Amino acid sequence: MQTFTGTKIVNGIAIGKIKLYKPAVYEISEELVSDIAAEIARYEAAIDKVKEDQNALYEKEMKAGHKDTAGIFEAHALMLDDEDTIIDPCKEVMAEGHTAEYAVRQVFDEVAKAFSEMEDEYFRARSADVIDLKNAMLDVLFGADTANLQGTEPAILVAEDLAPSETVKLDKSLLLGLVTRLGSSNSHTAILARSMNWPTLIQCHDITDDWDGKFAILDGYNSCIYIEPDQEIIDKLSAKQKEDREKEAKLQELKGKPSETKDGQKVRLYANIGGPKDVKAVIENDAEGVGLFRSEFVYLNSPTDPTEDQQFAAYKQVLEGLAPRLVVIRTCDIGADKTIDYMNLDKEENPALGFRAVRICLSRPDFFKRQLRALLRASAFGNLGIMFPMIISKWEVVECKKLLEECKKELEAEGQKIGKYEIGIMIETPAAALCADELAEEVDFFSLGTNDLTQYTCAIDRQSANLERFANTHHPALLRLIRETIEAGHRHGTWVGICGELGADPELSEEFMKWGIDELSVNPKSILPLRERVRNMDLSKFKTESPKPEAKPEPKPEAPKPEVKAEAPKPKGFFGRLFG
């Protein structure tokens, strides 16, 4: 048995085999080759293999009765046969002496770009299909074992590090726990790990390739992983895992019970989510609403800029699925660690202080308006809150609201139905916290983004593994900003919540309640433990004569309405029709 330590992110025990996760990174040579015929033969073999795979997927989806998805794979197989757009141009590039890999990258990227620049949203979205096919071709040409990237059985995933874009693509049902060599406790991967409640260890510096396939136990409580543990450890930690499961089962009894202290102070316990697939977890964990839907995951999950219709579908699904609960959707918070190739953002020296979130949105109004229109259309299907991130000044809020109003007018002119919605902002910069009084005049609610507020208040890069010992999420400056923001909000009848990770911090729950927090938005798995803490509190001993100031009440939820406009049928086929 060997024992290695790291920094724990999520408590809990994971028992199972290790899967070493190594994403494929391809270096494509620019050097010319002499055997052109051999390259063309490799290329043709790759086309045949990818076509075969796509046809197999088509058959599988048809058998499962998923005609729409099957149609995608059918179209993919046809695309690969397109002489004018794919086959001949690839052969021309190879005839110049380039490798098959080089030709595929060159030609597929050009075709994808042509799609992405088209007027029609449907055709723009086809660019993603071409990129998918390019990746499939490169996997075959490089001989990558993609089926085995994450394995096929549930396992403890061990990786160097994971970017948010990689994490979102993982098959969550195959994950028992997570161990990384790098990473920091406030990174988005750590946040996702908390939300999924995977036992997680970061900064485990001793990871080696020979761990792959070995039996292990990840002990989140003691921040360590045992490789090939002995029987004593297996017995002890299996018992602990059983005890955890029993405790979790007991928490289920709190479903449907009010989130209220013994002396009757209420708080709304909401969930943080990343997309429609999390609706189930919101309901299962009895969250009273969603306080943060990180809409950028809709963008990260998409290989190309999501269209208005694609976004509308995602927002509508969440709003409808959770009505009449309030769902706060944060507008796109791209930038810093959440990078997306298709956004073509410049490299920056200090990305956390750079071009991100609302700064991108206000600089690219067409991009922003696509999201605002999708949100407004979705508002007809539930109870929506629209929240703007990374605000530092009042003019930014005014500008966001102006664009929202512009979109509303456009949609009304088009005859689209729009429901009621609230407007809020994230308080995640010291500037916003200190100007909370004047910002409150513009909005219905504040949500404290304590992850970034900690980073910017303490000048601690939340991504940096080296700064962990300096990071203090209970820093008095941070706590003062939180308390003063709550007070400022309440002075103006603006309700105040917390959607950063601190909202679930057991050591601070009582403080937040004493300060009169209206809402805590935490990962779904933290809802019931937090409700248990709240219900065990008695704040009467802290109460003075002055009662908690009243915040604006939540708007009355509207009954979901039927969809207004049927979506136009999507044309089938592609290049032939497209390029004439």
User: Catalytic residue at 188?
Assistant: yes
Sole window of 57-65, 363-371, 446-454, 544-552 interacting with ligand PEP (rule: CB under 6 A)? 446-454
CB of 335 vs ligand PEP, minimal distance in Å: 10
**Cβ distance to Mg ion smaller for residue 128 or 479:** 479
**φ/ψ (deg, to 5) at 343:** -80, -15
- Out of 219, 288, 428, 501, point to the residue binding Mg ion (CB under 5 A): 428
296 binds Mg ion (CB under 5 A): no
Work out whether the CA dihedral 135, 151, 295, 283 comes out positive or negative.
Answer: positive
Q: Write down the catalytic residue from 98, 188, 490, 492.
A: 188
Minimum distance from residue 167 beta carbon to ligand PEP (Å): 13
Q: Judged by CB under 6 A, does residue 449 bind ligand PEP?
A: yes
Q: Which two tokens stand for residue 60?
A: 């599988």
Is the distance from CB of 205 to CB of 196 less than 8 angstroms?
no
Least CB distance to Mg ion at residue 484 (A): 19
451 binds ligand PEP (CB under 6 A): yes
Asked if 101 interacts with ligand PEP (CB under 6 A), we say no
Angle, nearest 10°, between helix axes 67-80 and 36-63? 170
Nearer to ligand PEP, 452 or 519 (CB): 452
Tell me the CB-side half-sphere exposure of residue 198, using CA atoms within 13 A. 27
Nearer to ligand PEP, 272 or 383 (CB): 272
Could you tell me the smallest distance in angstroms from the CB atom of residue 330 to ligand PEP? 8
Work out whether the CA dihedral 33, 34, 38, 41 comes out positive or negative: positive
Q: 177: which strand partners?
A: 156
Q: Which one-letter amino acid corresponds to residue 490?
A: H
Binding of ligand PEP at residue 291 (CB under 6 A)? no
User: Judged by CB under 6 A, which of 286, 333, 461, 505 binds ligand PEP?
Assistant: 333
Residue 191 or 439 with smaller CB distance to ligand PEP: 191
Neighbours of 83 (CB within 10 A): 10
Cα–Cα nearest to 90, from 144, 44, 124: 44
Residue 61 contact partner, candidates ligand PEP, Mg ion, none, CB within 5 to 8 A by sort of partner: none
Q: Check residue 450 for interaction with ligand PEP (CB under 6 A).
A: yes
Task: Name the minimum Å distance from CB 376 to ligand PEP.
Answer: 23
Return d(Cα 101, Cα 99) in angstroms, integer. 5
CA atoms within 13 A on the CB side of 213: 3
Joined together, the tokens standing for residue 181 give 């060599």
229 binds, among ligand PEP, Mg ion, none (CB under 5 to 8 A by kind): none
Binding flag, residue 422, ligand PEP (CB under 6 A): no
Closer by beta carbon to ligand PEP, 219 or else 505: 505
Is 199 a binding residue for Mg ion by CB under 5 A? The answer is: no
Site size with ligand PEP, rule: CB under 6 A:
11
Residue 159 touches which of Mg ion, ligand PEP, none (Cβ within 5-8 Å per kind): none
Task: Note whether 500 binds ligand PEP by CB under 6 A.
Answer: yes
Q: Are strands 13-20 and 155-159 parallel, antiparallel or unpaired?
A: parallel
Selection from ligand PEP, Mg ion, none that 203 binds (CB < 5 to 8 A by kind) is none
Q: What 8-state DSSP symbol labels residue 294?
A: E
Least distance to ligand PEP from the beta carbon of 314, Å?
17
Spell out the residues 6+ positions from residue 129 whose beta carbon is closer than 8 angstroms to its own. 72, 75, 76, 79, 574
DSSP 3-state assignment of 495? strand
Q: Is 291 exposed, middle or buried (0-12, 13-18, 19+ CB in 10 A)?
A: buried
CB-CB contact of 390 with 296 (8 Å): no
Residue 423 in contact with residue 326, Cβ under 8 Å?
no
Of the residues 361, 407, 435, 499, only one is catalytic, namely: 499
Q: Does 529 bind Mg ion (CB under 5 A)?
A: no
Cβ proximity to ligand PEP, 85 vs 473, nearer residue: 473
Closest residue to bound Mg ion by CB: 452
Strand-pairing partners, residue 215, are: 17
User: Phi, psi (5° rounding) for residue 237?
Assistant: -80, -25
How many chain residues interact with Mg ion (CB under 5 A)? 3
List Cβ neighbours of 151 (8 Å cut-off, separation of 6 or more): 19, 174
Q: Is residue 499 part of the contact set for ligand PEP (CB under 6 A)?
A: yes
CB of 499 to ligand PEP, least distance (A): 5
Compute CA distances 21 → 156, 166, 184, 212, 520, whole Å: 10, 11, 18, 9, 34
Report the largest interatomic distance among the alpha carbons of the chain, rounded to a whole angstrom: 88
Tokens encoding 223: 């921040």
With H, G, I as helix, E, B as strand and everything else as coil, classify residue 425: strand
Q: Is 474 left (phi over 0), alpha (psi -120 to 50) or beta?
A: alpha
In whole angstroms, the minimum distance from the beta carbon of 395 to ligand PEP comes to 21
Binding mask 182-211 for ligand PEP (x = CB under 6 A): ---------x--------------------
499 binds, among Mg ion, ligand PEP, none (CB under 5 to 8 A by kind): ligand PEP
Q: Binding mask 339-368 vs ligand PEP (x if CB under 6 A, - otherwise)?
A: ------------------------------
Q: Pick one of ligand PEP, Mg ion, none as the site partner of residue 138 (Cβ within 5 to 8 A by kind).
A: none
Closer CB to Mg ion, 101 or 452, in the complex: 452
**What's phi and psi for 325, nearest 5 deg?**
-65, 150
Task: Name which of 93 and 327 has its Cβ closer to ligand PEP.
Answer: 327
Q: Which of residues 429-468 bind Mg ion (CB under 5 A)?
A: 449, 452
Closer residue to Mg ion in complex, CB, 8/338: 338
First and final CA of the chain: distance in angstroms? Answer: 65
Is the separation of the CB atoms in 167 and 192 below 8 Å?
Answer: yes
Question: What residues line the site for ligand PEP (CB under 6 A)?
Answer: 191, 292, 294, 333, 428, 449-452, 499-500
**Catalytic residue set:** 188, 499
Question: What residues line the site for Mg ion (CB under 5 A)?
Answer: 428, 449, 452
